[in-house]
Amino acid sequence: MSAGLILAIDQGTTNTKALLVDRSGSPVFRTSSALGIITTAEGHVEQNPTAIWDSVRSVSAAAVQHATRVGARIEAIAISNQRETALAWRASTGEPLADAIGWQCARSARICDRLASKAVEIRDRTGLPLAPLLSAGKWAWLLEHNPAIQNAARDSDLCFGTIDSWLVHKLTGASRHATDLTNASRTGLLNLKTLDWDFDLLHLFGVPAAAMPELKSTAGDFGTCHHLPGLGDVLILAAVGDSHAAMFGHGHFAPGSVKATYGTGSSLMALTPGLPVETPSLARTIAWSVRGQTQFALEGNIAMTGSAVQWLGEFLGLSDPAASVAQLASTIENATDIYFVPAMAGLGAPYWDARARGSVSGLRRHHRAAHLARATLDAIAYQVADVFFAMQSTAGVSFDELLVDGGGTRNSTLIQFQADIIGCPVLRSGDEELSAVGAAWLAGLELGWWTSLSELESIGRNGDRFEPRMKASERKSLYDGWMGAVDGVRGMARNEQ
């Protein structure tokens, strides 16, 4: 074997993907394995840690088989992952102590209410609003409700981690318990000024410091893979949250670059010259940490975008929910004044209203399922616009373009409407698996395949450009209607308190 490849594992909410990336920085092989989501009677959102690991084993085996077939050698492993999802396992055996609490799960809302007086301090230290999204609240909930986890903590036999930590633990045969700074920055426990776990916040949430993983740079040595056939002694050289990996994979590294990832939920990220000033509507985060240099960013997270499309398809009883909704939406030109606010799990950025609930407004007698389908696609663009405008306001600049990636970008109608509603060009990546590509690029830097970010800037710039075509007056009218619908949803939530 001679040709070198990097195995990029992208562990997402609904599937796990594996890509093999060559020295040109491009994928040469792709495979995926579907994953289920567990929704309990209480409305909790969970996933089975063993099922997650089995999916990683499956896609990794397929990648190894392909590399063997073409006579290539896998030189490194890179991980990108869904963020904030919280896991707990026994340190001595690796046994999961509970199902993973999904990032969409709002079960820690009461814990957040209890800590409301500390919200300003939490935001100041971590850059994050106090919200059920935070992994810290999920771990606190597990400690309060799960006797097995309480016992493991008492016996100093407990590991807490996000998905990257879980995979590093499993891939290294339980020899490493580590996380990178991007994933750590989403837990609500990392101090952005010190780049270390904040012991005051660990105490506040009741999370034992001994259970937390070692902090690592995004590109670095996370240990050696064991036990997986064909991957023995292969180094894990990158771990990164999926949104951060996608930002990296766009190849735009200058402050002022902004991207949106369209998946189950959506994340917008804008690179900043340094640690940004405090803002109530957006999160401050770490974009990545490479070779001792930490890149900071503003971020806004939206809970339901692609999952809203899936939900509507299931609600309508369609056999192929997401695809059928998109097809329905394509049969009409617009939603004719219907607004769907998919706040079934609350509203994320820039509102951070965990008590908001979904609503459809503007319904009239002539409306059909197709109008609701189109309103659901429009809601994705409106929610992205909310965060985009908040970022512009906070940064004090007008962005030149919006970089976009993710499965939702396959829908050109959605992306054109996105350009229209923000009044700014949208550049669609030519690679849908940009999170995995970005993770592979990070590992490639550590391998020495590329020596600098400037070498990566010329890779992967292919894509489609969507220019805004809508008149300013129409844009304003549509967006004003959306803002009215959001205000109505939030008003209902306030009245129910």
pLDDT band with cut points at 50, 70 and 90 for residue 1: very low
Task: Select 3-242's CATH number: 3.40.50.410, 3.40.50.300, 3.30.420.40, 2.40.128.20.
Answer: 3.30.420.40
Encode burial over 430-464: b for 16+ CB neighbours within 10 A, e otherwise.
ebbbbbbbbbbbbbbbbbebbeebeebeebbeebe
Given a cut of 70, is residue 495 above it in pLDDT?
Answer: no
Rounded to an integer, what distance in angstroms lies between the CA atom of residue 164 and that of residue 217? 13
Q: Give the model confidence (pLDDT) of 124-142 as tens digits.
A: 999 999 989 899 999 999 9
The mean pLDDT of 465-477, rounded to a whole number, is: 96
Q: Give the model confidence (pLDDT) of 49-79 as tens digits.
A: 999 999 999 999 999 999 999 999 999 999 9
- Percent of the chain exceeding pLDDT 70 equals 98
The mean pLDDT of 34-57, rounded to a whole number, is: 92
The mean pLDDT of 141-167, rounded to a whole number, is: 97
Q: What is the pLDDT of residue 348?
A: 86
All structural domains of the chain with their residue ranges: 3-242
* Average pLDDT over all residues of the chain: 93
Considering just the CA atoms, what is the radius of gyration of the chain in Å? 22
Given a cut of 80, is residue 460 above it in pLDDT?
Answer: no
Given a cut of 70, is residue 379 above it in pLDDT?
Answer: yes
The mean pLDDT of 463-467, rounded to a whole number, is: 93
Q: Give the model confidence (pLDDT) of 223-244 as tens digits.
A: 999 878 999 999 999 999 999 9
Q: What is the pLDDT of residue 353?
A: 87
Q: What is the pLDDT of residue 2?
A: 53
Highest mean pLDDT among 2-11, 233-242, 459-468: 233-242
Q: Give the model confidence (pLDDT) of 243-290 as tens digits.
A: 999 999 999 998 889 999 898 889 899 999 888 888 888 999 999 999
- Beta pairing class for 402-405 and 426-429: parallel
Q: Which tokens belong to 194?
A: 């010190």
The mean pLDDT of 334-355, rounded to a whole number, is: 89
Q: Does the pTM exceed 0.85?
A: yes
Q: What is the pLDDT of residue 52?
A: 97
Q: By C-alpha distance, which of 407, 354, 413 is closest to 381?
A: 413
Q: Which residue has the higher pLDDT, 108 or 352?
A: 108
The mean pLDDT of 136-163, rounded to a whole number, is: 97
